[in-house]
Chains A and B, each alone.
Chain A
Amino acid sequence: MKPPSFRYFAARSADEAVGLLAEHGAGARVLAGGQSLVQEMNARRVAPEVLVDVNPAAELAFVRQENGTLSIGALTRTSQVESDATLDGSLTGLREAAARVGHVAVRNRGTVGGNLAHADPAANLPPVMLALDAEVVARGSGGDRSISAANFFLGPHRTALAPAELLTEVRLPLPPEGAGSAFIEVSRRDRGWGIAGAAAVVALDREGGISDARIGLSGVGPTAVRARPAEEVVIGERPSAELWKAAAGAAAAALDAPPSDVHASGRYRRHLAGVLVARALAAAADRAERRN
């Protein structure tokens, strides 16, 4: 179908976008990559009165590493993260997750900020941001505030952003030297919508023991979630197949009613979450070992 009519405003800066959002109120939506919003407009599931197009705001597209922090501008295309070799090393999992956000043409347009702000429970980047302890920067008419990823996702397509706030960037502390990360998902078709996904970051100490581990899961609840019980199982231990299996069991057991839909039953999602936790931990630990 064709989208309903709307009033269109091109914002050439983040501040201009924030001003337009404040001026037009609750009927205004931010248009970034459009890979979810325009689809929903075409299907007439949403009909915003005003679209504030942030694509001209080039200042929002960047990937920077400085002072131990990685900052990614909200307008950075998923394909840019996927192909950014400076993220190799401890952030390989972020590249892997970006490389699986839909197909090439979707990644060419879809943005990091859009993937987070759309807050789809099955999206790839939210669990990665949970595992990387990221914070989201939101700009409103009163200035910037930061929201931890743990507090950002409130429910399916619901976030802590106020209606007139713009997600401008995501920041995360670089994992320690010698950490490894991975993202793995299962979908019915290659790069199709994920049934469930797992992101893991594993840091090893000098003796090869696991000094830190963080795990994020997608597709198993109303938002992406941390798999803390699985993290507790592995921290302080040495990597082994048995350990990953124990973590898988802990992750699966701790889930609160994974959803059932046409793609998979809740029971299957619970099983899958465990399998993915084990695989993501194994891959992240393997990468960490190679780097040490």
Chain B
Amino acid sequence: MHQEDIVIVTLKVNGVERPLAVEPRRLLCDALREDLGLTGTNLGCEQGVCGSCTVLVDGESVRSCLMFAVQAGGCEITTVEGLASGETLHPLQAAFWEKQALQCGFCTPGFLMAGVELLRRNPEPDEAGVRAALAGNTCRCTGYEHIVDAVLAAADGAARERTFAEEPEVDVAAEVVAREGR
């Protein structure tokens, strides 16, 4: 790699400008994960098929494995890390929690970003609309039913707001600290 092949690009990710020096071949997904440490975006197939790496670029869902980081300069990028507001989950995240819409969770960030885009474009989708919008995302655990339920629930506003702070019983780190005294 020659020095002249390095490109300086500033990515605006979740509202924060992050200057980067990358090779042109650096995929957006790898810039997010490797260079910026935003590992919420997962890589499944790396060929644009599974939808795991879906992020929003200027509000629209894209496969971040099929876009180069140098192409995203000046764009507003939203990753799954940008959904929650502090301790308060995004309504769609809360709905995934309520409806148990994940098992292993690997595909979840991609589904959330696709779902967020859908609900912004169409706040009242029917089931067929939800399934069409999520058809580009693959889940190998859930069978999709609970994911569809969660998006519909979020659209209904049925999922109540939920914060991490309301759920001390699932704070594993605190339990470990208490038990082991670290």
Q: Which residues of A contact B (CB under 8 A)?
A: 1-8, 10, 31, 34-35, 38-39, 41-43, 51, 53, 55, 79, 102-106, 108-109, 189-191
Contact = CB atoms under 8 A, between A and B. Distances in A.
B21 interface: no
Contacts of A38: 27, 48, 65-68
B61 A8 contact: no
Contacts of A7: 5, 24
Contact of B135 (A10, A51, A103, A108): A103
Given A2-B30, A5-B23, A7-B5, A109 B62 contact: yes
Given A3-B27, A104-B61, A42 B136 contact: no
A103 B110 CA distance: 13
Interface residues of B, number: 32
B7 A108 contact: no
A104 B117 contact: yes
Contacts of B62: 105, 108-109
B1 interface: yes
Is chain B's binding surface mostly helix, strand, loop or mixed?
mixed
B176 to A, nearest CB: 36
Given A53-B71, A55-B71, A104-B114, A8 B24 contact: yes
Contacts of B118: 104
Interface of B: 1, 5, 7, 23-25, 27, 30, 46-48, 51, 54, 60-63, 65-68, 70-71, 114, 117-118, 131-133, 135-137
Nearest to A109: B62
Contacts of A10: 70
B117 to A, nearest CB: 7
A190 B60 contact: no
Nearest to B65: A42
Given A3-B25, A105-B54, A106-B48, A8 B70 contact: yes
A104 B133 contact: yes
A208 B141 CA distance: 53
Which one of A41, A51, A104, A189 has the highest number of Cβ atoms from chain B below 10 Å of its Cβ?
Answer: A104
A55 B57 CA distance: 14
A87 B51 CA distance: 29
A6 B25 contact: yes
Contacts of A102: 136
B179 to A, nearest CB: 42
B24 A6 contact: yes
